[in-house]
Structure 1
Amino acid sequence: MSKRIDVQDLNVFYGDFKAVEDVTIRIEARSVTAFIGPSGCGKSTFLRTLNRMHEVIPRARVEGKVLLDGDDLYGAGVDPVTVRSQIGMVFQRPNPFPTMSIRDNVLAGVKLNNKRISRSESDNLVERSLRGANLWKEVKDRLEKPGSGLSGGQQQRLCIARAIAVQPEVILMDEPCSALDPISTLAVEDLIDELKDNYTVVIVTHNMQQAARVSEKTAFFNIAGTGEPGRLIEYSETTDIFNNPKEKSTEDYVSGRFG
């Protein structure tokens, strides 16, 4: 069951540097939300705060609240590992574990969470996850072969299968198609469209057409200048952001006048 995310007054710091300032946003359940904006405006940093991935960087911290259906992910006693199993992440470059088979790649996150499952359960989970990532038909006869032997687009869908296997409520994607060719990109975009039936999906993208194609809502982030924090400038229905933005800087960005 996918869940809604409510972010309230979020500030993100790396040491003394404030990277993101005062973000308040509601991300609807079972939908695709796109984050757009120029490089360095805090989109990916903000995305990583949603499942506490940014904490792996020394001296990184946040102020404010991130609520998953009302539960504060930064509350006292909340385990970041649990948060990351609820909110999965797919990175910019496909990163299957190179020495692991396709099957073991899918199960990697489950095993990391110390879940003991039988062979038949794991067989079912591998098939279900690969079907969910639209990859089953392509790999079902080579599950014991290394994941690194797949094409780039297949590797990215394998990483999505790995994220699905943990049965998260939310899937975060940080420019998941930037390293892929157009045909693989289309396959991943089609998959994103299917994933929203079961998951809340948030995607960072530099591709305006992609944001317009895959998302219901779009958030535009911007930065006043080098060394300034990133801010959320405008957040609305994707059609409004691209066709009828309220802010001039949004209009300039989506029309290609800057960034």
Structure 2
Amino acid sequence: MSKRIDVSDLNIYYGDFLAVEGVSMAIEPRSVTAFIGPSGCGKSTFLRSLNRMHEVIPGARVEGKVVMDGQDLYGSDVDPVDVRRTVGMVFQRPNPFPTMSIAENVLAGARLNSKRMRKSEADDLVESSLQGANLWNEVKDRLDRPGAGLSGGQQQRLCIARAIAVKPDVLLMDEPCSALDPISTLAIEDLIQKLKSDYTIVIVTHNMQQASRVSDATAFFNIAGTGKPGKLIEMADTATIFSNPTQKATEDYVSGRFG
């Protein structure tokens, strides 16, 4: 598990509209990379391009390359479903399947992949995934209860358990704490630190303190104005971005002078 991603000259379109322009970066394995920048600058669009989720929007397309350990994820012979299995996604708001139990939520992705399991295998996968999401001790006695009955922070960890149950190499997280209280946010941040030993993690966040706490590298995106494409302004290790960035726009953003 855990793969390096190299992005080269990526342009992302919605129909004729260029949403993100000319992004090149390297995302290191077993690390946390944070995307920061003002709303509308293309952070989440770019994040979704890393597992081809943006393609569910009609007319969406990319130019350029996204290469994971030597394989171009946009190659003509690559199945987007396989990409999404390898590159998991955790969304902004917790989205457990409301009609499924906690255990069924964890197993949903594995079963969607047509993986037949004996009950003992399924039980082991549920336990290991919930352990991995640091949720097992809180729910082990109520696995047959609805996943939607958990607290917001628990639901988000359940969604992380569901994502890691299919054994991806990369985890993408789109503002995973924006709907959570501070205590739940801390639990998710602690979990991210533990998960990075096994996964490549990319997180979009509007919380500068969170980016500085959880990430090893930070990429700052910006936009010149309404109708303009988002661009990567600067990327470096997180300590450099927050203490000694090379671009004034980056310094202004991380210091709170705009955005």
Judge same fold: TM > 0.5, yes or no: yes
* Paired residues for 1:127-206 under 5 Å: 127-206=127-206
The whole-number CA distance in structure 1 between the counterparts of 2:171 and 2:214 is 14
- How many Å apart are 1:68 and its aligned residue? 0.7
Q: How does 1:73-84 map to 2 (within 5 A)?
A: 73-84=73-84
The residue aligned with 1:249 is 249
Q: How big is each residue's C-alpha offset from its partner over 1:174-225, in whole Å with a ceiling of 9 and x where there is no partner?
A: 0000000000000000000000000000000000000000000000000011
Distance 1:68 1:102 in 2: 32
Distance 1:113 1:73 in 2: 19
Structure 1 alignment gaps of length 5 or more: none
Distance 1:207 1:118 in 2: 43
Letter in 2 for 1:236: A
String of CA shifts for 1:95-142, please: whole Å, max 9, x gaps. 000010000000000011111111100100000000000000000000
**2:50 pairs with 1:50:** yes
Q: What residue number does 2:9 align with? A: 9
Instruction: Letter of the 1:136 partner, please give it.
Output: W
Instruction: Write the distance in 2 (CA, Å) between the matches of 1:33 and 1:225.
Output: 25
Amino acid paired to 1:42: G
Aligned equivalents of 2:98 and 2:124: distance in 1?
A: 23
5 Å-filtered alignment, 1:9-88, equals 9-88=9-88
Q: Distance in 1 between matches of 2:128 and 2:34?
A: 26
TM-score, normalised relative to structure 2 = 1.00
Tell me, in whole angstroms, the C-alpha distance in 1 between the residues paired with 2:68 and 2:109: 21
Aligned counterparts of 1:51 and 1:157: Cα–Cα separation in 2: 20
CA distance in 2, matches of 1:116, 1:9: 40
Shift of 1:70: 1.0
Distance 2:70 2:46 in 1: 19
1:213 maps to which residue? 213
In 2: Cα distance, 1:50 partner to 1:231 partner: 16
Counterpart amino acid of residue 114 in structure 1:
S
**Alignment gaps of 5+ in structure 2:** none
Deviation at 1:93, TM superposition (A): 0.1
2:168 aligned counterpart, secondary structure: coil
CA distance in 2, matches of 1:2, 1:81: 18
* 1:74 maps to amino acid: Y
Aligned to 1:225: 225
How big is the shift at 1:10?
0.2
Give 1:44 shift. 0.1
Give the residue type in structure 2 aligned to 1:123: D
Note the C-alpha offset of 1:8: 0.5
CA distance in 2, matches of 1:258, 1:93: 26
Give the distance between the partners of 1:164 and 1:185, measured in 2 at CA: 19
Partner Cα distance (2:180, 2:233) in 1: 29
Distance 1:115 1:62 in 2: 31
CA distance in 1, matches of 2:116, 2:37: 42
Distance 2:185 2:28 in 1: 24
SS in structure 2 at match of 1:142: coil
Most deviating of 73-82 and 35-44: 73-82
Structure 1 segments of 4+ aligned residues over 3 angstroms from their partners = none
Tell me, what secondary structure is at the counterpart of 1:218? Answer: strand
Instruction: Determine the C-alpha separation between the residues in 2 that align with 1:249 and 1:136.
Output: 43
